[in-house]
């Protein structure tokens, strides 16, 4: 710890899980089902109650759910699909699986989500070649769904919401997940709810769509293993479409049931942490925080600050190194997709096409955000920022 000898270094990791082993996990092992069975059914029903969605199909990842949502709605080779430039690569890769074209869209700096004005310009240009728009509720704050729903009616595209960060989110049209189109959630290890490391769910109020997705999630079979082998089931099944192996296991659902019970309590902790961070970063020069509209609920999956590069004698990357040297875990969400060689080369993309995501990316740092983060941790993080301020502010 050269140069930091006077400061007692504390370790505040970027992520800590709130997962606990409880009776559900034991029960799911003891039933002998292990794979998709009664626990998955119960978990789907809890997610349905929580989101208000009529139908829920549990799957083994959000990526799988996004893939199925496109497959079930007949995406074709050569179709165009709008994806925000600021997202994890899962949102765009599923489009590529079908040989369709990804059209990356810049962000609205107020929401960090897809820029709806740019979506409209793209829709006008592509006309009926534009098949899907996939907004991402980045960090837990919702995209402008009211405008997107209007645009989808006007231009005829289908919306698939990437809700990987947004289980608790409420948008300007209501609870995320409760809609006639597909919303897809992630229950990956570090998400606000995890099904033991990997998992996801597709929600919708459209019965036919939900049935199609359920079938495609298990090889396109007319019956699941559970209904074939349970007392009431029969051995016969049919396959009438090309399916996938994307079902969630009962063991995973057991973890999900433990987590969903506590979702409101855990989210309240995230909200309190965000408020405390806000107070800290309102006071530290050269670092800004994001001011999200408080009318809507932000799931607070991520807490991101932005470094003003003219204020500091060190770059954002060096700033991250300093935080890490002083024991504060960090991450970056995300390197914009247009910078990834696969997309950059395939679609001939340049930084100047995405000015807003670039200026966001140049200064963004994600800080620890999880329910067990303590006041002491936040106080320590504040001290570390002040320490960096004293050493590296521009004179």
Ligand X SMILES: Cc1ncc(COP(=O)(O)O)c(C=O)c1O
Binding site for ligand X (CB under 6 A): 61-63, 87-88, 90-91, 136, 162, 164-165, 186, 188, 200
Query: Is the Cβ of residue 162 or residue 250 nearer to ligand X in the bound state?
Result: 162
Of 256 and 327, the one with the shorter C-beta distance to ligand X is: 256
What lies within 8 Å, CB to CB, of 171 at 6+ separation is 137, 142, 143, 144, 145, 146, 296
Strand partners for 201: 58, 185
Nearer to ligand X, 85 or 322 (CB): 85
Min CB(3)–ligand X separation in Å: 35
Q: Quote the least distance from Cβ 237 to ligand X, whole Å.
A: 27
Residues with Cβ within 8 Å of residue 30, at least 6 apart in sequence: none
Identify which of residues 87 and 258 has a Cβ nearer to ligand X in the complex.
Answer: 87
Nearest CA among 125, 79, 166, 162 for reference residue 337: 162
The least distance separating ligand X from the CB of residue 84, rounded to whole angstroms, comes to 9
CA distance 385 to 50: 38
What lies within 8 Å, CB to CB, of 160 at 6+ separation is 66, 69, 70, 73, 132, 133, 134, 181, 182, 183, 184
Q: How far is the CB of 186 from ligand X (least distance, A)?
A: 3
CA 185 to CA 201: how far, in whole Å?
5
Nearer to ligand X, 44 or 162 (CB): 162
Cβ atoms 250, 39 nearer than 8 A: yes
Burial group, residue 240, by CB count within 10 angstroms (0-12, 13-18, 19+): exposed
| Min dist. Cβ of residue 142 to ligand X (A) | 13
Instruction: Output 64 or 388, the one with its CB closest to ligand X.
Output: 64
Q: How far is the CB of 63 from ligand X (least distance, A)?
A: 3
């Amino acid at each position: 710890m050269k140069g930091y000898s006077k400061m007692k270094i504390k370790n505040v990791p970027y992520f800590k899980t709130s997962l606990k082993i409880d009776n559900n996990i034991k029960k799911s092992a003891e039933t002998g089902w292990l794979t998709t069975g009664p626990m998955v059914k119960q978990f789907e029903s809890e997610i349905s109650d929580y989101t208000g969605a009529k139908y829920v199909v549990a799957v083994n990842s959000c990526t799988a759910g996004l893939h199925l949502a496109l497959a079930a709605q007949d995406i074709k080779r050569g179709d165009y699909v709008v994806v925000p430039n600021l997202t994890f690569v899962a949102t765009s890769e599923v489009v590529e699986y079908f040989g369709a074209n990804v059209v990356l869209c810049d962000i609205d700096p107020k929401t960090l989500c897809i820029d709806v004005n740019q979506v409209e310009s793209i829709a006008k240009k592509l006309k009926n070649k534009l098949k899907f728009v996939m907004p991402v509720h980045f960090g837990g704050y919702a995209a402008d769904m009211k405008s997107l729903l209007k645009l989808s009616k006007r231009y005829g595209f289908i919306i698939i919401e990437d809700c990987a960060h947004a289980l608790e989110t409420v948008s300007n049209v209501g609870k995320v997940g409760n809609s006639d189109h597909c919303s897809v959630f992630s229950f990956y290890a570090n998400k606000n709810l995890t099904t033991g490391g990997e998992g996801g769910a597709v929600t919708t109020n459209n019965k036919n769509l939900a049935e199609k997705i359920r079938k495609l999630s298990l090889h396109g079979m007319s019956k699941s293993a559970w209904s074939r082998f349970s007392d009431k089931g029969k051995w016969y099944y049919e396959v009438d479409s090309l399916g996938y192996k994307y079902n969630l296991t009962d063991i995973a659902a057991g973890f999900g049931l433990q987590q969903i019970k506590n979702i409101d309590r855990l989210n309240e902790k995230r909200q309190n942490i965000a408020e405390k961070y806000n107070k800290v970063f309102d006071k530290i020069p050269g670092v800004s925080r994001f001011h999200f509209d408080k009318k809507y609920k932000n799931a607070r999956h991520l807490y991101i600050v932005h470094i003003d590069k003219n204020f500091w004698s060190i770059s954002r990357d060096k700033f991250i190194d300093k935080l890490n040297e002083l024991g504060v875990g960090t991450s970056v969400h995300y390197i914009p997709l247009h910078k990834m060689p696969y997309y950059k080369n395939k679609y001939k993309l340049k930084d100047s096409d995405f000015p807003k995501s670039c200026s966001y990316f140049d200064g963004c740092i994600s800080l620890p955000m999880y329910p067990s983060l303590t006041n002491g941790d936040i106080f320590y993080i504040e001290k570390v920022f002040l320490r960096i301020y004293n050493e590296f502010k521009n004179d």
